[in-house]
A and B are shown apart, each in its own frame.
Chain A
């Protein structure tokens, strides 16, 4: 297709995506994380581990965070696009 697949296997991209999410304190258990032909898909509830500044909870800060996250994920070698389908709906795994 339009990228050097052998050089950037989807699995490796997927692992690097998880690494970025871990470094940004994103709770990965509430997300489906996948890569298909260099297109990264994040689907689910994007929550972050607690401990950030209180202001980070506001919608504007969340938008900024998402924009930066997208940009950082796009910076991973082999990533063609990042598709985020995120919601803040009720979790399905809540005890």
Chain B
């Protein structure tokens, strides 16, 4: 097929103008190959990862090997028969090979997944119409909110070119570009706009450089990150714009750009993009979380708190949001509120270690040593060990007068992290209570040796040298 050939050529670096294809052709080859290398390796290491197989299927489609793509999607469905994206991927692989497909099966997807599936199904039907020589645009009109206008025009333009209706394609592309600067930028990179009648023959090839399926949003995001990680911003942006072309979601696009800005330490740009994502979609919890962390990392804790509070209202079921809100309340000395948030986080995810760790610590700080120790014991049962945590347990046991238990924890703390000065301070206290003066003295001496970089834990231990002299 023409579209596969063009994509393959771009992947092989055979196209002539990088301006036409959007970015450096040679580098696109590297990203595709790198993606292939990493995904194939991951598929070998983790054969049960259906999403890796699915992404490999998309990659095979992108490089113009739909038969191989079909096999990857089948693998993905073999692992997870309910994997709807792979199901539509398999259908696409068959459709572009001119093979028949069954009617779309029923889905029980809900919420955002259901919205995505509406787009997948509409484009699937449009490909079927194209194969039967019918009007693909009619199928695309079934696309509902939130994609409606933009996605319709992107795909209607593409299918119009495929059907030889260049005037119709021009209308759709120009309408889409006038409505959205991201679309305009993407089409300009591809060489589609400004529309040039004299370039009619090249249009189909340029359009075919894109894998026209909403499923490909994931793949273009993946490829964009490869470029970004290698410092190739322009190529990354090109990939992200292609991700937008195949599934126009402005908030997600802004978040992808923010991700790059964060990676490149561009704090202002990161905030700008994340704020934009929230302006476009005020209900975007990932955007609220991301901007909250970005604000916090720049020291704007009030702004961070606001974002996390909104995120918690929008999505009460996010354990991570609950935990971080709890940390914010700890910082504000709102201990009861903090405890409540940690408990909520743990009710959502009982094995959420940082939440239990912070809760146990807070309980001990509040003087609820038995409760705190109970939580620490649960963490130990999870197999987690840290010198600091054992010191906290030792302190709590000391506070309860459980000297042997304190010694047990503190000895383990020293074993795990012999450089952690506070362990020696508290174990000195435990020894002193047992009347082991020499051991206490030795522990405190070690504490003083190691504690140079630490602030005092309390009164500096007084080492009575007279005993030693005796």
Listed in ascending order, the chain A residues whose CB lies under 8 Å from chain B are: 1-4, 9-12, 14-16, 18-19, 22-23, 25, 32-37, 39, 41, 43, 49-52, 54, 57, 80-81, 83, 85, 90-91, 94-95
Contacts and interface: CB of A to CB of B under 8 A. Distances in A.
A25 B422 CA distance: 34
A65 B350 CA distance: 30
A18 B292 CA distance: 11
Nearest to A22: B262
A57 B330 CA distance: 39
Interface stretch (B42-50, B185-193, B246-254): B42-50
A15 B355 CA distance: 15
A48 to B, nearest CB: 8
A19 B386 contact: no
B297 A12 contact: yes
A10 B48 contact: no
**A interface SS class:** mixed
Interface string B107-121: 000000000000000
17 contacts: A2-B457, A9-B331, A10-B358, A11-B324, A12-B301, A15-B304, A16-B297, A22-B262, A23-B265, A25-B263, A35-B354, A83-B388, A85-B384, A94-B46, A95-B76, A95-B83, A95-B86
Contacts of B35: 50
Nearest to A39: B388
Contacts of A51: 31, 34, 38, 225-230
Contacts, number: 147
Interface of B: 31, 34-35, 37-39, 41, 46, 48-52, 54, 76, 80, 83, 85-86, 222, 225-230, 259, 262-265, 292-297, 299, 301, 304, 323-324, 327-328, 330-331, 352-355, 357-358, 361, 383-384, 386-389, 392, 417, 420-422, 454-455, 457
Contacts of B80: 95
A67 B112 CA distance: 39
B222 A19 contact: no
A3 B41 CA distance: 44
Contacts of A25: 225, 229, 263
B237 to A, nearest CB: 15
Contacts of B293: 14-15, 18-19
Nearest to B31: A51
Nearest to A44: B353
Contact of B330 (A9, A52, A81, A91): A9
B455 A4 contact: yes
Contact of B229 (A19, A37, A49): A49
Nearest to B353: A43
A92 to B, nearest CB: 10
B50 A9 contact: no
A30 B451 CA distance: 35
Nearest to A1: B457
A91 B49 contact: yes
Contact of A50 (B229, B262, B330): B229
A11 B262 contact: no
Contact of B354 (A3, A34, A57, A91): A34
A57 B420 CA distance: 32
The 8 closest A-B pairs by CB, nearest first: A34-B354, A15-B296, A9-B331, A51-B226, A51-B229, A11-B327, A15-B297, A95-B51
B327 A9 contact: yes
A10 B262 CA distance: 20
Contacts of A23: 262-265
Given A41-B386, A50-B34, A34 B455 contact: no
B117 to A, nearest CB: 14
A49 to B, nearest CB: 5
B285 to A, nearest CB: 14
B358 A94 contact: no
A5 to B, nearest CB: 8
Given A32-B353, A49-B225, A95-B83, A81 B387 contact: yes
Given A12-B301, A15-B293, A57 B331 contact: no
Contacts of B263: 22-23, 25
